[in-house]
Amino acid sequence: MTDTEDRQRDSASTDTGGIASGSTIEDRLSEFDPRELARSLGARANGDRERSEGGGDRNDSPLSAVCYRSISGANENQWNNAVSQSDRGTLFHRYEWLRAIEDGFDSDPCHIVVEKRGNPVGLMPNFVTDLSLPDAVVDALPVTPPVRQLVSADPGFGGPVVTSSEGDTVDLLFDALETVAGPRILSHRVRAYDPEYVRYGRYLEARGYRSTLDSCLLVLDLGDGWEAIRENMDKERRRDLRKAHEQDYRVEIDPLGDDLETTYRWYAKNVDRVNGTAHPREFLEAIADRLEERVRVFRAVVDGDDVGRYVYLLDEEGGTLHHWLSAIPDTENYQYHPSELMHERAIKWGIERGDDRYSFGRTGSHFDNSVFTFKRKYGGDAIPLVEMETGYSRLGWSLYRLGRSLYLERTQ
């Protein structure tokens, strides 16, 4: 079916790094000396400091960096004030969102905060996540590889948030993260949805980060108004809207905490249908509890029966209404056009609220992707996600990227 969330989380690069055609995974990986790899990894073993003083080489700087292994160690008001005062703060940087991730996942946070005389002037949320490799690749490696990475942030988006002294603050955010990451962390990935994060592109390249174009957001400018948005839709989408309006329908807007059991069950069925992995129920429970005013469920009701639900995030900091989760339980329900009904109501609601943008959610950036194609027919602009990654272990990162690239070659 076309109206499903693209749950594909594989951020693998297709860059093969000049690998000869016909090489096997085993042949290429056998060229790495496991002793050299071990030395490379062990060289980072003594870097587990929790505080780093000074801005880069400027030892007289009033800035200092702290790593929080749980967001609960930070001051909630100070944290959220920094998010609100920054030009690039979003809902996904807020204390409550990060606390919900910690409540709902077995995660290892590594949140970096830069302080100036005790007040935060920069922050970057990070979580340790697993890097997945097929068993065939892992078995072929000369040593068991580190298979964890730091992501800013997951679920959601991240990147640095800075309120002042941008140059020194950004330096210290990334310097401190490298210092405390630990020897078994293979890499760091920054994922941001605000195109303004491109301002850090050259800076991150200089630090060894490489950009990817695997994902995007399809976004509507709500300032255009509903009539202009509707006219800009593909004719197929306008036709389906007309068909949807021929029914006895309504769309209700509820808090996530209302009937969360049904919403989660339908969401899990939706994800299972596309072979994805659903977020833990505990995560949604934490979102409903900690972000009650920032999340809404839209319910499409046709002939008195619920035929589908969408979960939305109200990103007031980012000026964006995000379609976050789909919960359409059965493929038979698509005959009632629940997607068209809920997207229409949510777009109009976002306009009424004064939101700047309407996001259809993260989507694989491939012209032949059915989810991309379906969402594109609503007339939204494809905005590439700002995603950049770097390896902390030179040889370990080379091993991982080589194995990943060869596996993709083999399976394409």
Cβ count near 33 (within 10 Å): 13
pLDDT beyond 50 at 295: yes
The class of domain 25-214+386-411 in CATH terms is alpha beta
- Tell me the C-alpha distance between 147 and 34, whole Å: 16
Q: What is the average pLDDT score of the chain? A: 83
Range name among 160-174, 245-259, 389-403 with the lowest pLDDT average: 389-403
Range name among 53-62, 330-339, 389-398 with the lowest pLDDT average: 53-62
- Tell me the C-alpha distance between 378 and 364, whole Å: 16
> What is the per-residue pLDDT for 63?
93
Do 25-214+386-411 and 217-384 agree at the fold level? yes
> What is the per-residue pLDDT for 66?
95
Task: Select from 145, 147, 205 the least CA-distant residue to 174.
Answer: 205
One-character DSSP codes across 147-164: -EEEEE-SSS----EESS
Q: Where are the domains of the chain?
A: 25-214+386-411, 217-384
Q: What is the pLDDT of residues 197-229, one digit of tens each?
A: 999 999 999 999 999 888 888 999 999 999 999
Q: What is the pLDDT of residues 351-404, one digit of tens each?
A: 999 999 999 988 876 666 677 888 889 998 988 899 999 988 766 666 666 666
| Strand 108-109 versus strand 127-130 pairing type | antiparallel
Is 305 exposed, middle or buried, given 0-12, 13-18 or 19+ CB atoms closer than 10 A? exposed
Cβ-Cβ contacts under 8 Å for 117 (sequence gap 6 or more): 62
CA distances from 318 to 79, 123, 192, 314 (A): 16, 16, 11, 9
* Contact indicator for 387, 191 with CB cutoff of 8 Å: yes
Query: Helix 281-290 crosses helix 95-104 at what angle (to 10 degrees)?
Result: 150
pLDDT beyond 70 at 339: yes
Q: What is the DSSP letter of 380?
A: P
One-character DSSP codes across 78-131: HHHHHHHHSTT--GGGSHHHHHHHHHHS--EE-EEEEEETTEEEEEE--EEEEP
pLDDT beyond 90 at 309: yes
Q: End-to-end CA distance of the chain, in Å?
A: 22
Could you tell me what percent of the chain has a pLDDT over 70? 75
| Strand 210-212 versus strand 320-327 pairing type | unpaired
Q: What is the DSSP letter of 348?
A: H
pLDDT beyond 80 at 35: no
- Tell me the C-alpha distance between 36 and 25, whole Å: 19
One-character DSSP codes across 206-257: HTT-EEE-SEEEEEEEGGG-HHHHHHTS-HHHHHHHHHHHTSSEEEEEEETT
Range name among 238-242, 330-334, 387-391 with the lowest pLDDT average: 387-391
> What is the per-residue pLDDT for 246?
97
| Tokens, residue 72 | 């609960």
Summarize the confidence of residues 17-44 as an average pLDDT. 41
Cβ-Cβ contacts under 8 Å for 354 (sequence gap 6 or more): none
Has domain 217-384 been given CATH number 3.90.45.10?
Answer: no
